[in-house]
Structure 1
């Protein structure tokens, strides 16, 4: 991009600047610390970046234009000048009726997409009256036992007018089936249903542990969903390949990139092995990343992710449809950075993280409530989190031009560095037999655990400052309203489940569950059978138990 003579002149001028201007200042005042590094990767941050740091940058190959390969500058040609990102506040609380109320509130306040959080029993495929669900019903999100609950959640919300993201993994096929059934009851053509299911089982074995079945049958269910949605629900994103939880577990930015895209490679290969056409399902793949505090590192990470995926899809899978190379992603601000101490500081953290996501070109965004370190966010804190996005969109100017930090010597250099480091990690993954094998061998988990341990040591020793926690502390206790789910709420959910069981046709339920069992034992796509089962009000637990009987349950190995 730069003439060699110009680069030589800049090198000479920089040397003169160091001798004549910088060194006298350093001699008198020094700098704040001996070494500056990126937030998570520990890469050295130079004092000054010039064109010499990006001398090998090729504009066409490395940057290009928005909407064109390699998509470094964005997957759409107009980006936010044409349409803002989807403002998708994560919500789901207690009962279905409460969640419906919160969804309607958020839509009235200007949210442009729904994001559905489920309680732990639902995530694990247990009904609310299961002994394993005791004390957890409705605590981390909404309790969904049957189609009746899903109908209540979306009562008065036309599914052809909203896009809904569901953070659900092992039982993703069941919740998707319920969503489709609600759409069918509303008379919405399936091709008009829009949204995303997380459906990313591999990261569950790495970071979250809300898995049910072993990896092999889990991958089968994932690819069955790919196939079903390509035919029946073509505008629904069939998976959100998630780096968010990998980062929450303690990974570096480069590890988040590598392990997330590595999981993406595994899903593509599994679908190809199942006989599917890559250009049929790949355009509906989506990704989910974390936005942390170091704004510039995060922007570089998002830009590198797009460029890497375009290369991976072209070089590994020989795709022909340009849409198959486009990495579209949702972002959530970093829950692990929220602190219970000086809780108002979280508003500031979230705002900076949201800015990083927008500067990096996200397609949708959730901003955390300030109180999410303590509980489900209150209505007031959710409103503030949504207003953070709206101010960013309409007042900051950050959405007015595409990829505004492009051409920054530091940003381009950091984008290259993160890409190179992430590809090096992917090479290690390949040498170990791919992500699935590396996960089963606990290698991926150990890489993340090592980083998390080192970071925690840095915090405890004061080398890494967390404002309000290990520096700038105060003694006062904040007054906070906390959303709570009571024992009465749990019992109300159980009573509702019992009512549905009493009113449904048990013979029809048994017949549909038996048909599902036979499909799972064979090689048919299981998703149509799950849709049939939930339509007669089979419960989440009943459907998952059938699949447990056929596939077994995963028991994690122990790593030290």
Structure 2
């Protein structure tokens, strides 16, 4: 709870912060009302005349009720639909379509070769080019991906981890070509390698050099991209791998602590980078548990940053997070049921105070989403924002006996896990020993047993089934794409200045051997002369080695 001193009571202090916030970001309506013209207050507490409130207030430590004093009354969450398939040109068309439909931020899905640092013409890429995301080999592809998209006005999230530094440099270079200086670029790069070792598997290098690259990004962005979120510490993939809500929050926060530790050990002051840390959570079907998870995670992180790391800047205490609805909850059977699931999950994220949101499409258990399915998913968010009234008051479930008890219980159980991980030696050591992996695998096994025994009902899958032929219109990536992408990279190699590429890669190799060198400027130099993602990553493969797992 905040210990407010001075001339203001806690409530008065909060109201003063609201007045300041509203001057910067006016509320969307005045007044907010229900459909029966009942005025909706900004915030509800147990006793409006009370001088204190044990839950705290929105925008005030420990942020149980939200990180902004007005939350969605001033600005709605960013509606950021995850998209990417085939070529950069095709994905650019989808991006522009979604922006035309009212999406407010981009979120890029990369294909598997890009995610693990291989060029499209590498033998390891055969059959995978453009299949689960967009293929990006060189700066030329990034230029096509972002064609006619103003980077000074659109925020971009990139789900990329092991080669995150390379894709970030490509983004910076495109900004420069558009005339947008790096200090004006906004967005997020996932850059979370620990969850790759735990749950997803698209890693390249061993943990120590991977952590070096991450802290290099922290340092570079602090000086050059002050508005860019340098990491999105992801619980999403941990949950997709089979964890429960408590494990998702606990392992994500433990990973976050490991990144903070690594950055401090590299010489960075905690308040110089912590305000740009962001998180990425999943939303599953148990509505109240999900709301409580978001509220508890926010409170836990605030206490860790303030008390454990002694951060002085309140911005360092705030857990800002993106949410994506649960891909693993979607069924191929009766796929239209997924629209209901996604709506419920999205509502929990909004009730829990998310800063941005992706809603999955109904057909994602079968294929990449079609244009129609992507539009329905976006409309789900827009209906919640504009027709439901859930964004009109702050933390509407705050004070619910059930939600508050769940929030407290999740906080306790997450802290129990954090103590166990600390005893092991921290998140990196816990990953190397396989602790988190074993915990997730055991929980996933228990979930599957429950489904098979019908102790957990999945509508349309193990209960309420119908005879159906699941054959909707699906998005298919043209097989010709792979050849076209290979032809493109061949042409780039032929037309670029080979001597400049050789010099840039040589400089990167030299500085990769020096643990005190920040590699981002050298990666940026290589990107600008059209070195490929494979060439850049192979330099670091040679110097750092490859991680073989446990």
Q: Normalising to structure 1: TM-score of the pair?
A: 0.89
Cα contact 2:79–2:358 (8 A) shared by 1 = yes
Q: 1:371-421, CA deviations, whole angstroms, 9 ceiling, x for partnerless residues?
A: 111111000000000000000000011100000000000000000000000
* Structure 2 unaligned residues grouped into runs of 5+: 2-45
Q: What pairs up with 1:32-71 in 2 under 5 angstroms?
A: 63-71=55-63
Deviation at 1:252, TM superposition (A): 1.0
How much has 1:478 moved relative to structure 2? 3.1
Deviation digits for residues 82-133 of structure 1 (CA, Å, limit 9, x no counterpart): 0000000000110000011000000000000000000000000000000000
The residue correspondences of 1:95-114 to structure 2 (distance < 5 A) are 95-114=87-106
C-alpha distance in 2 between matches for 1:235 and 1:438: 32
Q: Which residue does 2:118 correspond to in 1?
A: 126
Q: Give the Cα–Cα distance (whole angstroms) in 2 for the partners of residues 224 and 406 of structure 1.
A: 39
Equivalent residue number for residue 475 of structure 1: 467
Shift of 1:477: 1.0
Q: Distance in 2 between matches of 1:507 and 1:60?
A: 68
- CA contact under 8 A between 1:61 and 1:70: conserved in structure 2? no
Aligned length in residues:
502
Does 2:303 correspond to 1:311? yes
Q: Which residue of 2 aligns with 1:359?
A: 351
Name the SS of the counterpart of 1:116 in structure 2.
strand
Matching of residues 520-559 of structure 1 within 5 Å: 520-522=512-514, 523-557=516-550
Counterpart CA distance in 2 for 1:379 and 1:357 is 24
**1:62 Cα offset (Å):** 5.3
CA contact (8 A) 2:217 2:520 kept: yes
Q: In the alignment, is residue 256 of structure 1 matched against residue 248 of structure 2? A: yes
Report the 3-state secondary structure (helix = DSSP H, G, I; strand = E; otherwise coil) of the residue aligned with 1:63: coil
| CA distance in structure 2 between the aligned counterparts of 1:381 and 1:113, rounded to whole angstroms | 18
Q: Which residue of 1 aligns with 2:481?
A: 489
Distance 2:118 2:144 in 1: 19
Match of 2:171 among 179, 193, 198: 179
1:476 shift after superposition: 1.1
| Residue 313 to residue 396, structure 1, CA distance change in 2 (3 Å) | same
CA apart distance, 1:304 = 0.3
- CA-atom RMSD, angstroms? 1.3
Give the whole-Å Cα distance in 2 for the aligned partners of 1:119 and 1:196.
18
Q: How much does 1:485 deviate? A: 1.4
Match of 1:296 in 2: 288
Against the structure 1 CA distance between its residues 59 and 375, is the aligned structure 2 distance closer, same or farther, given a 3 Å change threshold? Answer: farther
**Contact 1:165–1:196 under 8 Å retained in 2:** yes
Cα pair 1:512 1:533 within 8 Å, conserved:
yes
SS at match of 2:395: coil
Q: Equivalent residue for 1:382?
A: 374
User: Contact conserved, 2:62 with 2:303, CA < 8 A, in 1?
Assistant: yes
Asked if the contact 2:332/2:470 (under 8 Å) is kept, the reply is: no
Aligned to 1:284: 276
Aligned with 1:164: secondary structure? Answer: strand
Q: Specify the SS of the correspondent of 1:114.
A: strand
Query: Is 1:443 aligned with 2:402?
Result: no
Give 3-state SS (helix, strand or coil) of 2:282's partner: strand
Match of 1:81 in 2: 73
Say whether 1:428 aligns with 2:420.
Answer: yes
Aligned to 2:25: none
**Conservation of the 8 A alpha-carbon contact between 1:87 and 1:365:** yes
Measure, in 2, the Cα distance between the counterparts of 1:304 and 1:232.
33
Shift of 1:494: 0.8
**1: CA distance, partners of 2:287 / 2:454:** 22
The question of whether the paired residues in 1 share the 8 Å contact of 2:397 and 2:403 is answered with: yes
Please give the alpha-carbon distance, in whole angstroms, between the structure 2 residues aligned to 1:336 and 1:63: 33
Deviation at 1:60, TM superposition (A): 5.9
Distance change in 2, residues 1:504/1:59 (3 Å)? farther
> How far apart are 1:288 and its partner, in Å?
0.1
Give the corresponding residue for 2:218. 226
Aligned partners of 1:493 and 1:285: how far apart in 2?
A: 34
Q: Pick from 301, 319, 322 the counterpart of residue 327 of structure 1.
A: 319
**Cα offsets for 1:424-457 (capped at 9, x unmatched):** 0111111111111111000110011001001100
Query: CA–CA distance in 2 between the matches of 1:321 and 1:106?
Result: 36
Alignment partner of 1:152 is 2:138: no
Quote the Cα distance in structure 1 between the aligned partners of 2:471 and 2:517: 55
Per-residue CA distance 1:478-531 (angstroms, 9 max, x = gap)? 331111113211111111111111110011001000101111101210001001
* 8 Å contact from structure 1 (residues 62, 72) kept in 2: no
CA contact (8 A) 1:313 1:324 kept: yes
- Aligned partner of 2:11 in structure 1 is none
| Match status 1:247 vs 2:239 | yes
Change in CA separation of 1:221 and 1:471 when aligned onto 2, cut-off 3 Å: same
Per-residue CA deviations over 1:220-275 (Å, capped at 9, x if unaligned) read 00000000000000100000000000011111111111100000000000000000
Residue equivalent to 1:31: none
Q: 1:462 to 1:554 in 2, by over 3 A?
A: same
Cα displacement (A) at 1:63? 2.0
TM-score, L = length of structure 2: 0.90
Q: State the alpha-carbon separation in 1 of the partners of residues 148 and 456 from structure 2.
A: 48
> Alignment partner of 1:331: what SS?
strand
- Residue 212 to residue 61, structure 1, CA distance change in 2 (3 Å): farther
Q: Does 1:201 align with 2:193?
A: yes
2:330 maps to 338
Secondary structure, aligned partner of 1:393: helix
Shift of 1:59: 10
Partner of 1:269: 261
Instruction: Give the Cα–Cα distance (whole angstroms) in 1 for the partners of residues 305 and 51 of structure 2.
Output: 20
Unaligned runs of 5+ in 1: 2-53
- Report the CA distance between 1:316 and its aligned residue: 1.2
